[in-house]
Amino acid sequence: MLKLYETRSRQVLPIAGRGGALKIYCCGPTVYRDAHVGNLRTFLLSDLITRAAILTGLEVTLVQNITDVGHMADDLEDKILAQATTESLDPFVIARKYEDRFHLDLQRLNIAPANSYPRASDNINLMIAAIEKLIEKNFAYVAPDGNVYFDAQSFPSYGAISGNRLDALKPGHRYEYSEDGTKRFHADWALWKLARNRTEMIWQTPWGAGYPGWHIECSAMSLEFLGDQIDLHIGGIDLRFPHHENERAQSNALIGKEAVTHWIHGEHLLFEGRKMSKSAGNVLLVQDIIDKGLDPLSARLAFLENRYRSQMDLTWASLEAAHSTIKRWRTLVNSDLSTSMLAPDSEFIDAIMNDLDTPRALLRLRAIEKSGALTSAEKSAIFRSADQFLGLDLSRAPEKKSLSAEQSQLLELRRQARAAKDFAESDRLRGLLEESGLQIKDGPDGQSWD
């Protein structure tokens, strides 16, 4: 049975599902920009959990929302509307553009599609109905400023996921976008906001024209599309608070019981030792990996080298190493396909089921790769079986490209330049070779290429 670390109970718990089925909700992308590789690490987590659960015989239903309205930036501007202004495009055009690119990136990383991707903007009615019900049940109120807020103090177990209890939350602390409102309590959050000067992406409601808060969309859509018992709710660690804390309060208040059995969080990804941020200029996209001539699945393997709940640092060196490993494994798998797929290796599966210990699973595969006791055909069969979980396309024949006549000539010229210690010329030729798609390495035995 699969076991996972569950945030609310702070324990590793068995994931049994109910009646052979497992219902999973994974918070999806805000579609105002390309997903960066960190976002994709989190989306990979729901894929890995799904694949592992399927291996245990569960039937998985996975729903992932598309946030195309209501997610505010620190300056209180809607992220989609701000990007629409930057690109001089209609906000819905922006949302659809980045939604398409999100699906493309999922494909490139072999992240299996969810069963459905409900959009926030297509489900405003569900949110309005949920908010009406929360008001009716006295969990929410219309404030003098006209916005509708959730009354945090009406939900006594607030803080169970993150440990941030209401009495410890100080006013003014940046745990929720600090609206100048007329909230009853500083930790209350907006369910519905009045449009005021806003003219786009607004809807009519009993409280006036406006738009939903970000948190209510996940409650409304998860309950609608998965029902009132959701086995797993997944997201990046930053969503633990306030997003998931607020979602839990809303959902539980709506249905009068615990809506989500297990809350699962993936740790963040750093790139070259730093948090990825636009201002630092170090946001890495899948396209950047492809542009370097690396297989995008290198990112997938690099992620698997680390456990989902450890923070990890992705580097170009680790991506290049992963690229070489994938090539080597594809060569191994295709070297002898005469044995049909074997049952998965038990130690490999054991590591996966033990809270997705992917580093240990990969160590086991490397031991199998080196083993003198197994034939190439057996190794190939074991790797193909492991790939049902790994998703590295190991059955794909490794790409073999031969050098063009021009590349051969440039390599020869560069060899001569290096022999003559003409390093300026050698660097110029390296530039041309790299532009043509080769990677050049200089070692003690001279130059080599890939």
Chain residues in the site for ligand AMP (CB under 6 A): 27, 29-30, 38-39, 41-42, 67, 235-236, 238-239, 268-269, 276
Asked if residues 65 and 28 have their Cβ atoms less than 8 Å apart, the reply is yes
Residue 52 interacting partner from ligand AMP, Zn ion, none (CB closer than 5 to 8 Å by kind): none
Interaction between residue 259 and Zn ion (CB under 5 A): no
Comparison of 67 and 298: residue with beta carbon closer to ligand AMP: 67
Helices and strands, number each (H, E), in the chain = 14, 15
Q: Judged by CB, which is closer to Zn ion: 234, or 276?
A: 234
- Considering beta carbons, is residue 71 or 379 the nearer one to Zn ion? 71
Residues numbered 11-40 forming contacts with Zn ion, rule: CB under 5 A = 27
Partner in contact with 29, chosen from ligand AMP, Zn ion, none, beta carbon below 5 to 8 Å by kind: ligand AMP
Give start and end residues of each alpha helix (H) in 137-198.
Answer: none
Q: Which two tokens stand for residue 353?
A: 């089921």
Strands 312-314 and 269-271: parallel
Q: Which amino acid is at 245?
A: E
Shortest Å, Cβ 136 to Zn ion: 23
* Residue 380, binding choice from Zn ion, ligand AMP, none, Cβ under 5 to 8 Å by partner class: none
- State the residue for tokens 């980045």: 98
Q: Say which entry of ligand AMP, Zn ion, none residue 41 contacts (CB below 5 to 8 A, set by partner kind).
A: ligand AMP
Of 285 and 382, the one with the shorter C-beta distance to ligand AMP is: 285
218 binds, among Zn ion, ligand AMP, none (CB under 5 to 8 A by kind): Zn ion
What part of residues 201-220 is at the interface with Zn ion (CB under 5 A)?
218
Nearest-5° Cα angle at 297, 293 to 300: 135
Residue nearest ligand AMP, CB atom distance: 236
What end-to-end distance do the CA atoms of the chain give, in Å? Answer: 42
Residues 265-324 that bind Zn ion (CB under 5 A): none
Angle between helices 297-304 and 316-335 in degrees, nearest 10: 100
Residue (258 or 357) nearer to Zn ion, CB: 258
Question: Which residues in 92-127 are b (16+ Cβ under 10 Å) and which e?
Answer: bebbebbbebbeebbebbbbeebeebbbbbebbebb
Positions that interact with Zn ion (CB under 5 A): 27, 218
